[in-house]
Amino acid sequence: MKIIIINSGSSSIKYQLINMPTQEVICSGMIDRIGLDTSNLTYVTSNTKLDESLLIANHKIGLEKIAQLLMDDRIGVIKSTQEIDAIGHRVVHGGATFSNTVVINEEVKEKIRQLFDLAPLHNPANLEGIDVAQEIFATAKQVAVFDTAFHQTIPVIAYKYAIPSKLLTEKKIRVYGFHGTSHKYVSEKAIEYLEKSSKIISIHLGNGCSMTAIQDGKSMDHTMGFSPSNGLIMGTRSGDIDHSLIFYLINTLGYTPTEVNNLLLKESGMLGLTGYSDLRDIESNAEKGNVDCQLALAMNAYRIRKYIGSYTAAMNGLDAIIFTAGIGENSSYIRKLVCTDMDYFGIEIDMEKNEIRSKEIREINTLTSRTKIMVIPTNEELEISNQVYNLLLN
């Protein structure tokens, strides 16, 4: 079964063509910095590696470009769209409706559309990916895998907000949790590596950032909440703020609700602090002495450290922390800022190991560290492929 996985992030598209059940990756790649002045495209097969810098204005253009490459006469890997059996789509918010992987129909699409307001940077891009894929790969089964599904095990003590209970029972307002596909994948890899079910904190750092407390393989708490805007400082999202700020902006400073929403989701975070949303640009300028960039990186790490402390308390212990996703896997600078002076929690980073680049699971802690510090490359595409295959097989 040939399955194309489409993973649309807020500013990126990762994709893989996987042959199941062998898990052979026929083709893979990504487009990042979507909507910025210059986007980066990669396309990799067994005998081709293409890297391009070009303008990709939105996700629709990006998906059309990927489809062209897959069927290119010279470097393509399929002759016809009919060779594709299924398309697996990562969908960020499933709300209270979706707790499992589902075959996409018009009703599912409408439910995803109804959740736009809860994940405005993601669900619209996810649905656009579905629509474009249905046009291009008309004979393939379209399947949705929801980021919220892994977090269904969060206990009520953690997912219920301290607001009138009827808003939970009648309106389903609660913590849902996100990046679940990634947190599930890396935590299972960690448990396999450690050879025991442990108390783990998974730290997913990309343009969107989140942390999950995982005990015995189950999600117990998560930094994001009702929508993927809470918690850590992100590329353009503020993360945690005092909710009174929203009313102050509207009632005193004259902002409209739409302007506030745009401010907190698209103009804040690292972009609001530095003028840059891409961490590579921020680190580069910090190294050149940019004080705003230096402070933003320190604030970013400080927020992560606070959640490590709170989740360690919530689980009454900590066996390992995991760094994953684009920033978590590649930024030794952020990992160093997070793990320095954390010996009270048994976290001791080995600075030399931290600088080593690898695509394998690795430890970057000292030999005397009580807590494992692990870098585990996430593979949301493989996790989605497994779920799609198992759904269609049954």
Residues 257 and 264 sit within 8 Å (Cβ to Cβ)? no
* 32 in active site: no
Buried b (16+ CB within 10 A) or exposed e, 40-72: bbebebeeeeeeeeeebeebebbbebbbebbee
Q: Is the peptide bond before 21 cis (omega within 30 degrees of 0)?
A: yes
- Whether 235 is covered by a domain: the verdict is yes
Q: Are residues 368 and 295 in the same domain?
A: yes
Residues 267 and 249 sit within 8 Å (Cβ to Cβ)? no
Q: Are residues 224 and 358 in the same domain?
A: yes
Length of the chain: 394
Residue type, 379: N
* Residues paired with 41 in a beta bridge: 31, 52
- Whether 142 is covered by a domain: the verdict is yes
DSSP annotation of 104 reads -
As for how many domains the chain has, the answer is: 2
Q: Are residues 209 and 337 in the same domain?
A: yes
- Whether 367 is covered by a domain: the verdict is yes
Q: Are residues 94 and 15 in the same domain?
A: yes
List the pLDDT tens digit at each of the 394 positions of the chain: 999 999 887 778 889 999 999 999 999 999 988 888 889 999 999 989 999 999 999 888 998 899 899 999 999 999 888 999 999 999 988 988 888 899 999 999 999 999 998 888 789 888 988 998 898 888 999 999 998 989 999 999 999 999 999 999 998 899 999 999 999 999 999 999 998 878 999 999 998 999 999 999 999 999 999 988 999 999 999 999 999 999 999 999 999 999 999 999 999 999 999 999 899 999 999 999 999 999 999 999 999 999 999 999 999 999 999 999 999 999 999 999 999 999 999 999 999 999 999 989 999 999 999 999 999 999 988 999 999 999 998 7
- Predicted confidence (pLDDT) per residue in 266-296, tens digit: 999 999 999 998 999 999 999 999 999 999 9
DSSP annotation of 308 reads H
Residue 108 CA to residue 90 CA, distance in Å, equals 13
- Flag whether 205 is marked binding: yes
Q: Are residues 98 and 202 in the same domain?
A: no
Q: Are residues 303 and 238 in the same domain?
A: yes
- Flag whether 174 is marked binding: no
Output the pTM of the full model.
Answer: 0.86
Q: Are residues 208 and 91 in the same domain?
A: no
Q: Are residues 210 and 326 in the same domain?
A: yes
146, 181, 214 - which closes a domain: 146
- Whether 46 is covered by a domain: the verdict is yes
Instruction: From the candidates 85, 147, 221, 319, give the one annotated as an active-site residue.
Output: 147
Q: Are residues 258 and 322 in the same domain?
A: yes
C-alpha dihedral (246, 248, 253, 256), degrees to nearest 10: 30
> CB atoms < 10 A from the CB of 264, how many?
20
Q: Work out whether strand 320-324 and strand 372-375 pair parallel, antiparallel, or are unpaired.
A: parallel
- Residue 16's domain spans which residues? 2-146
- Whether 331 is covered by a domain: the verdict is yes
3-state secondary structure labels for all residues of 162-174: CCCCHHHHCCCCC
Residue 279 CA to residue 296 CA, distance in Å, equals 10
- Flag whether 280 is marked binding: yes
- Whether 381 is covered by a domain: the verdict is no
Q: Which of 323, 370, 320 is nearest to 348 (CA)?
A: 370
Q: Which of 82, 18, 1, 72 is nearest to 41 (CA)?
A: 72
- Whether 185 is covered by a domain: the verdict is no
Q: Are residues 251 and 110 in the same domain?
A: no
**Which tokens sit at 153?**
């095990």
- Whether 384 is covered by a domain: the verdict is no
**What CATH number is attached to the domain comprising 342?**
3.30.420.40
Q: Are residues 10 and 128 in the same domain?
A: yes
φ, ψ of residue 51 to 5 degrees: the values are -125, 125
Residue 225 CA to residue 222 CA, distance in Å, equals 7
Q: Are residues 123 and 7 in the same domain?
A: yes
Q: Helix, strand, or coil here: 15?
A: strand
**Which tokens sit at 291?**
């004080």
